[in-house]
Structure 1
Amino acid sequence: MSEMNEFTPDLFELIDEEGNKKQFELFDIAEINGEQYFAMLPAIEDDNFLDSDCELVILKSVEEDDEEILVSIDDEDEFETVSSYFMERLQDAFEE
């Protein structure tokens, strides 16, 4: 990897249930209980980012038809465990 790419954020385009596309920046990846999860924050798209919602999106990696896809977490207990982990990591990142 070149030096220039080391500091370039990993961006993902996510599509919600209504078909709306939005850019997200990868914050963290973690393996929890044998599953892989991705935490993302909305990408900064303009100068008003401080006034926008900064929701943390957490998705689970699953394999479907021999392809890795990211899906929402439907199980409440699983979501609580994973979101607690990422929220602690996010808080630590802001304290640094």
Structure 2
Amino acid sequence: MQENIVTLVDEDGKEIEFEVIMTLEAEENEYAILMPLEENEEEEAYIFRLEEQEDGEYSIIPIDNDEEYENVVAVYETLMQEEGLE
């Protein structure tokens, strides 16, 4: 198993593999930017909040708050501009 690949199960029970593009911190939380490995029309990345569990493992939590999502996108865009990737 590659370390930067995670498998998530969608609402239909289908397993989808994602590559972890990057992790970042925003508003004192840690987030992961995930890109699906299988081709899709949108070529869209997904943002999930990472929450550390008591056993040291991480849970990947979907973001359902628009303000939280916008904050993470703003941090991501700033990081990309600083690295000259946009």
TM-score, normalised to structure 1, is 0.67
Q: Which has the larger radius of gyration?
A: 1
Aligned partner (choices 27, 43, 63) of residue 73 of structure 1: 63
CA contact (8 A) 1:61 1:71 kept: yes
Match of 2:45 in 1: 56
Match of 2:75 in 1: 85
- State the Cα RMSD in Å: 2.6
Q: How many residues align?
A: 82
Aligned pairs (5 A) from 1:15-26: 15-26=9-20
**Structure 1 residue 52: Cα displacement:** 3.0
CA contact (8 A) 2:26 2:75 kept: no
TM-score, normalised to structure 2, is 0.74
Question: Structure 2: any 5+ residue segments left out of the alignment?
Answer: none
For residue 69 of structure 1, what is the amino acid of its counterpart?
Answer: S
Which whole-Å CA distance do the structure 2 matches of 1:40 and 1:29 have between them?
9
**Structure 1 residue 65: Cα displacement:** 5.9
